[in-house]
Amino acid sequence: MAAVQWDPFEAIERDVRAMVADQRWADVPAPTQAQAMAARLLRTPDGGCWLFGTHARWHRHDQADGEWHLSAPPAAPQVRAAALPAHPAPPVPGHLLPAAADLALARGSTQAFVGPDVPRGLADRIRELLDVACGLREENRPFTTGPLREVFHEDATAPVAAMWGAIMWTAYAPAFDGNERLLSMFGEFLDRPLPGDDWVRWLPAMPLSALTSLYAERLARGARAATLVAAHLTDTASALLADPRFEFRAAALLAMVTPLRSRPWLDHPARDAETMAQAWMSRCPPSLRGALLPETSPGEHFRHTFYDLVEALSFVSVHGADPRAVAASLLAADVDAIAPTVAPQLYPWLDAELRRAFQVALGDPGHPLRGCWPRDGEPPEALRPADRNTAAALLGAGYATGLAWCRLTGTVPPPRGFPTSSAMVTCLIHQRDDPVPGAPATSAEWIRHR
């Protein structure tokens, strides 16, 4: 039997988690915490220095600028195994010191909703909630304002819109199989075709202000109308917790909205949607604040989704490729196809190494990194994951990264997806969940023709 290779990165992560989970850690002075973390730095053969710190994620020290950058750790086992304690160790800044709230993070899955369907039990529960919302037409008059108004027919009620908004806001990467029941059950209420193609609905990111705008309008009509919206937001979020692709942001939505079910007037002083969004976010506990990065720091959100993309590409290390360089190349492919002029806006959010890879992939058609780009809508053979779950994670992380840089730069997301995530669909078309025997097939015609 082959010996199990020791992984210093896993060992340090376990050690840091155990140390920070100790209740006494919070009382340790910051300089002492920094000293303890400095003793747990790793250095890889390429000279990189690594810290497992805040956000329960790895950070890499850049010798060129002396800064620490959020960075997914090496994926190749031989590189990880060769890591040694970092001596001498660079200073550990206070903002990277981990806290107990960091270790409570449960980020969930980065998979999109193509390939693995939403569990049937979850979809059935949403259907039950939707039936209740449909029965409120008489006592809950149609809503009239906010971003969700543009999505629905005039006779759709606010609770129906609240459910849709909760699903879209909590989804890590809202790219859905065109036959997904979670979407098709809303078809009779939607006023326009959803963006996408024959296989996938490439939906835009839902801002929190869309939900607070809906709630603010109902609050202006009275406590009962507001309570109904809060109830449907929380009931939907509770159901979505069952799927790890919704779990992280669903937990955050519950923390923000649940108090409104018993105290609908809680945010009454915040009359406009943006002010109310701030009030909601103030109720989110530290362990879930990462779910709010799209609202609070689009740049940091981009960094975290790019981290996810690098991790989703870890399988390429088997072929000797660097997942970070490949991720930078795929980012370049999407930016080049959608909005090449915004590339300079992304430079400050990439470390020097990634920035060089991104720039050369953008500017040099003959560079080997261009070999990572899709051709005729297909990914190169080396980027075809070996299994469905890995392909769904790569599609999801790629789409989430695309939405993140669009949000950061003010770019309108493409209605048919980004080139790299669209190419990944070809790896999943024949690996989607089969229909339940005896259940009628769901038609996608409602999305294309109204």
Q: Please check whether residues 90 and 134 belong to one and the same domain.
A: no
- Give 16-19 contacts, CB < 8 A, sequence gap 24+: 16/40, 16/52, 16/53, 16/98, 17/56, 17/103
* Pairwise pLDDT comparison (273 vs 445), residue with the higher score: 273
User: CB of 291 within 8 A of CB of 227?
Assistant: no
Within a domain: residue 109? Answer: no
Within a domain: residue 147? Answer: yes
Find the domain containing 226 and state its range: 120-292
Task: Label residue 449 by pLDDT band (50, 70, 90).
Answer: very low
Choose the weakest-confidence range: 273-287, 289-303, 401-415, 430-444. 430-444
Within a domain: residue 169? Answer: yes
**Cα separation, 268 vs 310, whole angstroms:** 43
The tokens of 340 are what?
Answer: 């090449």
pLDDT at 264: 85
Mean pLDDT of 128-139: 79
Within a domain: residue 1? Answer: no
Q: Please check whether residues 255 and 162 belong to one and the same domain.
A: yes
Q: Please check whether residues 334 and 222 belong to one and the same domain.
A: no
Q: Is the pLDDT of residue 442 over 90?
A: no
pLDDT at 271: 72
pLDDT per residue as tens digits for the range 84-128: 999 888 999 999 999 999 887 778 999 999 988 899 999 999 999
User: CB of 58 within 8 A of CB of 303?
Assistant: no
Q: Please check whether residues 257 and 137 belong to one and the same domain.
A: yes
pLDDT at 141: 57
Within a domain: residue 114? Answer: no
Backbone phi and psi for residue 84, each to the nearest 5 degrees, phi listed first:
-130, 165
pLDDT at 197: 84
Q: Please check whether residues 245 and 369 belong to one and the same domain.
A: no
pLDDT at 91: 93
pLDDT per residue as tens digits for the range 186-199: 998 988 889 998 78
Pairing of strands 175-177, 84-85: unpaired
The tokens of 302 are what?
Answer: 């981009």
- Spatial CA neighbour of 374 closest among 419, 416, 427: 419
pLDDT at 430: 76
Q: Please check whether residues 287 and 303 belong to one and the same domain.
A: no
Q: Is the pLDDT of residue 16 over 90?
A: yes
Q: Which of 292, 312, 330 is the last residue of a domain?
A: 292
Q: Is the pLDDT of residue 177 over 80?
A: yes
Q: Please check whether residues 73 and 222 belong to one and the same domain.
A: no
What is the phi-psi region of residue 52: left when phi exceeds 0, alpha when psi lies from -120 to 50, beta otherwise? beta
Position of tokens 């949000």? 407
Within a domain: residue 112? Answer: no
pLDDT per residue as tens digits for the range 138-154: 455 566 677 888 888 88
Number of domains in the chain: 3
pLDDT per residue as tens digits for the range 202-245: 999 999 999 999 998 888 888 888 899 999 999 999 999 999 99
**Cα separation, 419 vs 414, whole angstroms:** 9
pLDDT per residue as tens digits for the range 291-323: 999 999 999 999 999 999 999 999 999 989 999
Within a domain: residue 402? Answer: yes
Q: Please check whether residues 284 and 307 belong to one and the same domain.
A: no
pLDDT at 447: 38
Q: Which of 103, 128, 148 is the last residue of a domain?
A: 103
- The DSSP element (H or E) to which 177 belongs, if any, is strand 175-177
**Cα separation, 142 vs 192, whole angstroms:** 17
Q: Please check whether residues 351 and 260 belong to one and the same domain.
A: no
Q: Which of 72, 103, 134 is the last residue of a domain?
A: 103
Q: Please check whether residues 196 and 256 belong to one and the same domain.
A: yes
Within a domain: residue 348? Answer: yes
pLDDT at 73: 96
**Cα separation, 92 vs 32, whole angstroms:** 11
Mean pLDDT of 133-141: 66
Position of tokens 């080049």? 336
Mean pLDDT of 256-267: 91
Is there a cis peptide before residue 88, judged by omega within 30 degrees of 0? yes
State the Cα torsion 248-281-132-172 to the nearest 10°. -30
Q: Please check whether residues 405 and 262 belong to one and the same domain.
A: no
User: CB of 424 within 8 A of CB of 378?
Assistant: no
Q: Please check whether residues 314 and 421 belong to one and the same domain.
A: yes
Q: Is the pLDDT of residue 434 over 90?
A: no
Compute the chain's Rg from CA coordinates: 23
Alpha-carbon separation of residue 317 from 78, 271, 332, 373, 434 (angstroms): 10, 52, 20, 17, 32
